[in-house]
Each structure stands twice: as structure tokens, then as C-alpha cells.
Amino acid sequence: MHLVETFHEGPWSITAVVGELDVVGGPELRQHVMAQVGEGSSRLVLDLSGVDFIDSFGLGVIVGALKRTRLLDGDLRVVVPAPRIRRVFEVCDLDRVFKLHKTVQEAVSTQ
Amino acid sequence: MTVRPYEPMTPGQDLPAAPRHKSPDSAAVYTGEVVLEIPAQMEFVSLVRLVVSGAAQLHPYFESERVEDLRVAVSEATTNAIRSHEGVDSAAQIQLTCNVTEEQIEVTVRDHGKGFDPDALPNLPDPDSPERLLHESGMGLRLMRMLADETEIRPSSSGTCVRLVFYGSKRRRAALGG
């Protein structure tokens, strides 16, 4: 797994995740989110369009990211266009915890 | 065979779709058992995913979505197995068997770790509850149970054996009376 450079659109900090978001790659994303929140960014978008596998550890990192942004009155939006990755979120009912978006544009423009 | 010129891929780009030759009514089912042993290190989980999904892709009654279910569930079982070896002074390997029959694929993951009681794990709070955000773990077992058709966890003093069974579409259709 690797992270593609974060860019900003309005109040949102957008990071693309590429590869396998699992127990091996997940810690790097957790560190990245913690660093961003530590720098005061509380509105994050994680673009998982390039993720080809996610496990429960990866899901846990995203739940933790939402918790950290909410503590700063911020929010986390997740872009998951691929049905097979979306299904893993749905099996764990996480589509009820945060809305899953199909594009970055949709994520940053939704009120 | 047609040879296409090499086209470099950009990060995040989907792999080109593999040719699918599945015609369930006529295709042969390659049955047998695949056995794999891995060191108790997380870096080997991706190898396990590769092997079991490769075996499932050969099966004419496993469509791509079902292969994906198997890949996720077996990955979770393997991760748990490796985690159970943490803090245990043992060089023992994790053993996996993938038994392919016409009707199903049965995967067993056996570790030599500390063992755990699946019934002792707390239930996750309701997704609508703010308490849900306090739980970053505890989803692996749910994924296994929801994605496999049969899940059996047998803890013992010498480790845990997890058995996951995935039915092929032919058996699933028969079960539905179709």
C-alpha cells in the first residue's frame, strides 16, 4: 500500500490510498491521519479508488480516522467506487457509520 | 495467441480483466487439496490471499464476487492465526489447507498460538450509536461469519483451527431450489 500526496480542495484534505489496505499497510495510513489531525486538518477525504483489497484492520483505521476528526468537530468522507470494496464496508454496517461516495467530487460537494 | 505491446500501468489503474473461460455447464472442476505453510508473519497474508483466490478462480462455480468473499474471509482467519502467535516463543508455522470439490471450497487455518474464545468477544455497538466509533477492531470475525457459508472455530490448548466453507453457485442454486 502507498499513499498518494495529499491535496486540498476548500476545507478538505484529500489523500488517495493505493494497493492493499490491510494489517500490513494500515498502520501507515493511521500515522498519516494522526499527523494530519495533529496539524489541525479536521476535514479529511480518503480516496480508496485505488485500493484493491481491504480487511478488518483497514476498516478499523478508517473508523479511528472518523473518531479523530469528529473530536475536532470535523468530518471524514470516504470514496469507495468499487463494489467489491464497498461490500466489505456494508458487511460490517459501516455504510451506516459514514456515507460512502463514488467520486472525490461528490465527497467534497455533499453538504 | 496474440501478443500485445507492453503498456505501463499507472498507480491505481485497474488490472486488465483476465479472460474468463467459465462455462459452468461444461467446464471441468479441478478438485484436490492445496496445502500451504507460512511463517507467523503478517507479510505472508497476501501470499495466502493469492493462493486461495487463485484456486477459487479455477473453479467454474465460483464467480468473481464469491472469490472475493473467500479472499477476505480467509485473509481474516490467517491474520488472526498469525496474531495468536504474538508473544508465543515458537517457530511453529501456520498451516492452511484449501480443499476444492465440485460443490464447495473448504479452507482450514490452523495455528499453534494462545487460542481465543470466539463467544467471549463483545458485540459491536449499533452503527448509529456514537459508541461505535470507539471500536476499531472486532470486525474480522463478523466478516468471516458473514462471507463464508459455514464457519467453525475450534480452540484448543495447542492452538486454534478455523474452518471456512464456501459453496459454489451450483450448490447455492440447489439450496434455493433453483
- pLDDT tens column, B82-100: 999 988 877 889 999 999 9
User: Which residues contact residue B45 at a Cβ distance below 8 angstroms, ignoring those fewer than 6 apart?
Assistant: A22, A23, A24, B75, B78, B79, B82
Pairwise CB contact (< 8 Å): B12 & A49:
yes
Q: B26 in a domain, yes or no? A: no
Beta strands in A22-105 (DSSP E): 43-54, 75-79, 100-101
> Which CATH number is B98's domain given?
3.30.565.10
Residue B65 is placed in which grid cell? 464476487
Average pLDDT rounded to a whole number, residues B97-122:
88
Average pLDDT over residues B100-121: 88
- Look at residue B20 and tell me whether its pLDDT is greater than 60: no
Closest residue in A to B137 (Cα–Cα) = A60
With H, G, I as helix, E, B as strand and everything else as coil, classify residue A48.
Answer: strand
Model confidence at A23, pLDDT cuts 50, 70, 90, reads very high
Q: Which residue of A has its CA nearest to B41?
A: A24
What is the DSSP secondary-structure string of B117-162? Answer: -GGGSPPPPPTTSGGGGG--S--HHHHHHHHSSEEEEEEETTEEEE
Contacts of A18 in chain B (CB under 8 A): 11-12
The alpha carbon of residue B156 is apart from the nearest alpha carbon of chain A, in Å, by 24
Of chain B, the percentage scoring pLDDT greater than 70 comes to: 84
Those residues whose C-beta lies under 8 Å from the C-beta of residue B141, and which sit 6 or more positions away, are: B76, B80, B118, B121
Percent over 90 (pLDDT), chain B = 56
Is residue B16 classed exposed, middle or buried when 0-12, 13-18 and 19+ CB atoms within 10 A define those classes? Answer: exposed
Asked whether the predicted pLDDT for residue B10 surpasses 60, the reply is no
What's the ipTM?
A: 0.93
In a domain, B7, yes or no: no
- What is the sign of the dihedral through the CA atoms of A54, A55, A58 and A64? positive
Whether residue B108 has pLDDT greater than 60: yes
Identity (one letter) of the amino acid at B128? D
Task: Tell which wins on pLDDT, B176 or B106.
Answer: B106
Residue B26: the pLDDT is 60
Mean pLDDT of chain A: 94
Give the mean model confidence (pLDDT) for residues A13-27.
Answer: 96
What is the model's pLDDT at position B18?
47
> Can you give the pLDDT at residue A56?
96
CB contact under 8 A, B79 and A57: yes
The answer to whether position B24 is within a domain reads no
**Domain assignment present for B171:** yes
| Chain A, nearest residue to B43 by Cα | A24
Determine the pLDDT at residue B125: 81
Q: What is the pLDDT of residue A18?
A: 97
Inform me whether the pLDDT recorded for B1 exceeds 50: no
Flag whether B55 is in a domain. yes
In this predicted structure, the answer to whether residue B3 has a pLDDT above a threshold of 50 is no
Quickly state the pLDDT bin for A49 (edges 50, 70, 90).
very high
Residue B15 in domain: no
In this predicted structure, what is the pLDDT of residue B23? 54
CA distance linking residue B10 with residue B29, whole number of Å? 36
B134/A96 Cβ within 8 A: no
In a domain, B23, yes or no: no
User: Does any CB of chain A come closer than 8 Å to the CB of residue B137?
Assistant: yes
Structural domains in chain A plus CATH codes: 2-106 (3.30.750.24)
- Give buried/exposed letters for B141-174 (b at 16+ CB in 10 A, else e): bbbbbbbbbebebebeeebbbbbbbbbbbbbbee
CB contacts < 8 A (A, B): 79
pLDDT digit string, tens, across residues A31-48: 999 999 999 999 999 999
Q: Helix B45-57 vs helix B64-84: angle between axes, to the nearest 10 degrees?
A: 150
Write out the residue range of the structural domain in which residue B64 sits.
41-119+139-175
- A67 versus B8: which is more confidently predicted? A67
* Amino acid (1-letter code) at residue B78: T
pLDDT for position A54: 97
State the Cα–Cα distance between residues B152 and B92, nearest whole angstrom: 22
Whole-number Å distance between alpha carbons of B14 and A49: 10
| Interface mutation vs chain B, best among A34, A54, A55, A70, most B CBs within 10 Å | A55
Does the residue B128 lie in any domain? no
| A91/B146 touch (CB, cutoff 8 Å), yes or no | yes
A41's grid cell: 486538518
Least confident residue range of A59-63, A71-75, B173-177:
B173-177
CB B75 within 8 A of CB B118: no
Quote the longest CA-to-CA distance of chain A. 34
Q: Do B11 and A49 touch (CB under 8 A)?
A: no
Whole-model pTM? 0.86
Specify the number of domains making up chain B: 1
Q: Across all residues in chain B, what is the average pLDDT?
A: 84
